[in-house]
Amino acid sequence: MGILRTDTISGLETPTPVTGSVYFDGNGDWITVAESEDFNFGTGDFTVEFWIYWDGFNSGGTRGVQLTAAVTNGIWIGQVNSTDYVLRSYGNANHLTVSLPPLEKWHHIAVTRKNSTARFFVNGNLGASGSVTHNFVKHAITIGSDESSGHTNGYISNVRMLKGTALYTSDFTPPVHELQPIGDTVLLCCNNPDSAGAEATGKTITINGDAAASTFSPGLTRDFTYGTEFRGVTTFDTQGYFVPPSGTTEQRGRGRGIFHGGYASPDYRTEMDYIQISSQGNAIKFGTLGSKNYSEGAPCGDSIRAINGGGAGLNNNMEYVVFATTSNPVDFGDLTVARRSLTAISNNTRGCWAGGTTNPAMSDVIDYATIASLGNAQDFGNLTVARRNLTPNGSSTRGTFAGGNPGSSPNLDDTIDYITFASTGNAVDFGNLATAMREQGGASSGIRGLIAGGYSAPAFRNEIEYITISTLGNGQDFGDLSLARSGAAGVSNKINGVFGGGSSPTLQNLIDYVTIASTGDDAADFGDLTYSAVIYAGSQASDSHGGIS
């Protein structure tokens, strides 16, 4: 008999789901921490890290965070011109230089030194390194300004400094939990949504100008401060009084789907909405894409992250969010080829981006990336037919791509091909759709994949077809959407397939759903998105789709 003999299984320090930041308007705002021996880094090891979101350039020339010393030879991290972000000693030459990351995105910045080798990381990627033996003297810390004309215009979150420890010495995945005062921490601030002056090590912060606390954050969740956090696929054999849940902490309570942008003539939309797939209701705003040029990209993900790749501006950008939070995306890396109208599919480990158009040519490129590790995508192989607006479905081992547009309208395709996630190589023929179409929605249970709606000249379609992912074959009739339309993107939680948005040709915000395991049932009303648009990519990201075991 299994008997629970503990008062606390798990808990959070506070019920607050995300951490905060400090906002600087670029016009004479900053915060300061008084001079301390804690900031006398000397020639030893150290770590300085923080998250930053720039709204724009400042007229004084600074858009980077300034972690400055008010005395010569103090540590200084900030912008020196329109392209360079540097580590320097105040009043002296630059030691390390990296390129400034883009505006209007959250970026994780880290500068470390270990055994005289300093390293500058942007979003976990090593941007510069070299021998830096400079003696950094004790000083006051200024955040958000150089106290003259160089003021930050944007948000800074989770500033942490460690004296004597270099946390990062090679490429890494930026933290997903709010930072904690670990080990040699001498400063931790800019993480309280209620107070710009909050600091975790007992230091006093002075607020200058209009620097203010904000709830806007990089989407970090609060870490567990007591109890047990389940990390493995945990199972229990018990006939006792209490059966703990199986799976990881993040997996419990999963079931969120996120819709990314779309097109609503005459321009693209940058909204991101989310739904809880297991319960009907209207969508809720999640955040905003980094640019309207990312709105014709393709999202996929594992149970933790959603990654959106490519987009309307023929860009190769990849940006990600954490499902369990609401926030704007953060830079992930780059695709191998810039394109739009592509699609994406994933399992627990890999995300794959397929097809699209480079205008005017159609692409047959398939890229892949490891979802848990930030970095650029790599070549996977090629589709059997170069095309855009194709529809993905998948299991934990296999991904499929159906239909699409292999050239200028009205050309359409009925091809279904597949890849095996664990290997790299070209896609292989799977079968054919009943009707050649483009812009269908996709949703899978891991066993069955649905291909819903779409456009087949001259009509919008309401048919839903299905395939059995583990066996090759043609699409079969499943049922119908509640409204004939194209560009209704799908999400799933293995039980329900949910389709949102689209064009009939009137732009739609409706969401409808089906039970994937059944056939012959027409889609039922689920709720509404907060905006109306054609949502490309066929499938959107969910944290519990058929590719996740």
Q: Are residues 404 and 283 in the same domain?
A: yes
Task: Give domain status of residue 250, yes or no.
Answer: no
Provide the pLDDT for residue 531: 95
The mean per-residue pLDDT over the stretch 276-284 comes to 93
Which residue range(s) make up the domain with 476? 256-542
Q: What is the CATH number of the domain that holds 265?
A: 2.120.10.80
Cα dist from 223 to 10, 87, 113, whole Å: 11, 30, 26
Tell me how many domains the chain contains: 2
Q: Which of 160, 192, 214 is the last residue of a domain?
A: 214
| Count of C-beta atoms within a 10 Å radius of residue 342 | 30
**Per-residue pLDDT reduced to its tens digit, 461-506:** 999 999 999 999 999 999 999 999 999 999 999 999 999 999 999 9
32 and 125 both lie in a single domain: yes
Overall pTM > 0.85: no
Residue 394 and residue 327 in one domain: yes
In this structure, is residue 226 part of a structural domain?
Answer: no
Residue 457, pLDDT score = 84
- The answer to whether the peptide bond before residue 101 is cis (omega within 30 degrees of 0) is no
Same-domain pairing of 310 and 386: yes
Q: Is residue 249 part of a domain?
A: no
The highest-confidence range among 73-87, 114-128, 131-145, by mean pLDDT, is 114-128
- The answer to the question of residue 222 being in a domain is no
Statement to judge: residues 181 and 263 lie in one domain: no
Same domain, 469 and 417: yes
Residues 381 and 477 grouped into a single domain: yes
547 lies in a domain?
no
Which of 35-49, 81-95, 227-241, 401-415 bottoms out in mean pLDDT, i.e. has the lowest? 227-241
Residue 223: inside a domain, yes or no? no
Instruction: Look up the CATH number of the domain holding residue 63.
Output: 2.60.120.200
Contacts of 2 (CB under 8 A, 6+ apart): 236, 237, 238, 239, 240, 241, 242, 243
Q: Are residues 381 and 510 in the same domain?
A: yes
Rounded Cα–Cα distance for residues 529 and 170 (Å): 41
The verdict on residue 7 lying in a domain is no
179 and 289 fall within a common domain: no
Do 266 and 136 reside in the same domain of the chain? no
Residue 61: inside a domain: yes
Residues 202 and 314 in one domain: no
CB atoms within 10 A of CB 130: 13
| Residue 51 and residue 169 share a domain | yes
